[in-house]
Amino acid sequence: MKTGFKWTLALLLVACATSGGKDYTLEAEISPTPIGWEVKGRSNLPDQSQILVALIDPTFAGNYSKAILVQEFGSVKAQAFAVNIKPLKPLKPGKYQIQMTFSPTSYDWSGGKVLEEVGPKGEHLGGKYRVSAEGVNKLVNTLTVEYKGK
């Protein structure tokens, strides 16, 4: 009887671990530029998936309107995307965050191909960057960068 319980528990754990769908990636290398940062991303999301890249001031955590300094969209093509983040106002030296987000509820420029693969609410999204909020699965990856001033 104990052996049967162990197998049932093991199968249940495997089912829970893989229930999110395919393991999708959302990663980037970030390089400083004279006026901001260059974000060179990699993702195995379908071509034309829209990635929202935001520069965030973590000192305003919880106050979304003050925390978001600038946002840009990048489009996945051949498993890559690139965005230049240029703050709209001068930054104080310190640590900031660059957050990359894919949400299936964003506008689908692919004519439905992206949603067909990931699901209208991200039902087929999986992997270490998957988060769930308000019944929608998204991919989110937040990286820390440091601005040293001019």
Which residues neighbour 141 within 8 Å (Cβ) at sequence distance 6 or greater?
A: 26, 27, 28, 99, 100, 129
Q: What's the domain range around 60?
A: 20-147
Report how many domains make up the chain.
Answer: 1
Q: Is the pLDDT of residue 19 over 70?
A: no
Q: Is the pLDDT of residue 1 over 80?
A: no
**Spatial strand order in the sheet of 80-85:** 27-33, 36-42, 80-85
Whichever domain contains 107, its CATH number is: 2.60.40.10
Q: Is the pLDDT of residue 50 over 90?
A: yes
Is 14 among the domain residues? no
Contact 25, 75 (CB under 8 A): no
Is 6 among the domain residues? no
Is 5 among the domain residues? no
Is 7 among the domain residues? no
Is 86 among the domain residues? yes
What does DSSP say about strands 94-102 and 50-56: parallel, antiparallel, or unpaired?
antiparallel
User: Could you read off the pLDDT of 62-116 as tens digits, one per residue?
Assistant: 888 889 999 999 999 999 999 999 998 889 999 999 999 999 998 888 999 999 9
